[in-house]
Structure 1
């Protein structure tokens, strides 16, 4: 059984308690502001859980108890309350409708949406999480709860974290040290799942969690030189949202550094082919709705006004008119080109460096997009944090700038060359 040290140093306890107190303040704001109803429910429950967690963390053996308080208050209780009460963001209904439409017409898009809530701004793969609702329906309380898309989005996210942990857990040291490090890592990952970064979207929406998990899993597979598995994870992610497509370049660059060009090409081929297989049927059945709802609508060019209107640089530029919109797009393309060049000049060499590079690219895209919201930044933040919690304990490649070349086959080491010492030195 893997356990943490029974006595936690007081400095670590204060740090752990302080983190939960910050989360308490964060969650406590939602019931006091004009936030949507599901957010207020989450904030009321989570603030109590975080406050109890902050107090329990001060006990020398209370780290596990504090994590239990945080998870119960920020995830379990509000999720059950929202599932029973039917409270959710509109994205949940969009995903569930996509599943119903996919079963009935083999495409998740309405041909003629009348309102914003009838628009499906996701690629066809997202409809998978709405299939349970389409199959189970709403007849009875249990099918109604089990059909909720949030449960399946959360299950996909947690499943990807579990798989990534299994992929990266090798090489973490000897048995005692490695066991302790893995136990600490599990506590840290559990704390991150219970934090507002994950707990809030998990309870009220959950739509971005599968994307985050699949992208992280793809980078973990690439770091472990598994191009086919990385390509399959990338294909699944790229079939959910087109914002996942830049991850293909980052994972391919990582594969090229870790396993060679041939493995990188194999991973890219699997990713592209898998994405085409998953997206092409809907693209052929409803090309117009797909382009209008998936590409034009999120960028502010569709016939419906997107609700993504946070005052980010790209949005502020787009509000200036057509010239501002084109300026934002030009800056967005320039930022993407700069990240692409960085992948050629300085390839990512392990999971952490690849997650950092992808996070930079996604942050640039979200900040400079003509339509965006602050919540999108949770994806790059999650990638950076998870890479350090799950895969940061071991380096999966040489340090930056270090190139190892083999000039001859391995064999017996040559005899050392004798060193001639000058006569003047030997006389001393």
Structure 2
């Protein structure tokens, strides 16, 4: 098979790494890719959101399957454009991708499906939103309705903080038109879990769960980021809770999407809060998480490629996945200053030595090669240093042993990934 992966981050490196191991694979491309992805796939200089160029490339190369990593191309209609060209695409249609593109749409679908979640209200007027916040009190959650690169959610500890967030999102438009509408939601208390299910429009197959670390600093302090680390499986998410989420959230939502004429095919990322009353829906995403994908891929024993094909072809009802009896833990190394301003093109050394540590796989997120062959950082989140082991303690030890070998003075990481479980 000929496969094109779309994207250039750590999630896409993990997907390319897993797909490259498939005996079904003939040729693997990634657009635009990164320096790490270039070790397992041929990188092509096409932007992830350049839909016409991606489809033209796929047609020219007779690509059998397009695998979309990030949410942006899906909300722009990549899957629809591929379908129109007769090319299979792993990922939902533009209409189904609204589950991530609009948080209000997610809540409407979840409510119609009876999925348990937070109380919420939708606003287009900042004054009305602020009045609602004063009425409800704090803590409370303020969300930009549209895509905001994982940074459009504020968990406000006070009414004043919530009102400031509404001003930033709706009036200052720090997230652009994504902030034209805001949601104000009940603040759920518990442990957050990312759960993933492969979907083919009518059938959902549990894919696994991970726990992410969003705050930039140790002890979950500082601003929210795209994710500073993750581990899998999370002990708090038992098999019984998985079955409950499938029965009360995933399957009813899949049925509701089909009823609306927008069947969901791809991977459904279910953001959950495990509360004292049970699992409650926080959000849906329509793609693998980052860095959760890295944590899942190193545990997957089955061939990923036929699983993606089965989701495209409506054949998940007769499909199964096998997992290694391993724990995994990802430590994200980021450029100093992230999630604010940070320096680019700083050199990273000793990655080869780090990768030789038993149980370690280093995934690249924001890297490139200079003309002299040196590896340089090009983004905020740069590396996903991933350790595996028979226990979570062993996985954590492997990951941090590799971090300590990497020579990158301009980088930093959290030193407490996995703290909730350990």
Higher relative helix content: 1
TM range (shorter): under 0.3
- Scaled by the length of structure 1, the TM-score of the pair is 0.25
Higher relative strand content: 2
Q: Which of 1 and 2 has higher RCO (CA within 8 Å, sep 6+)?
A: 2
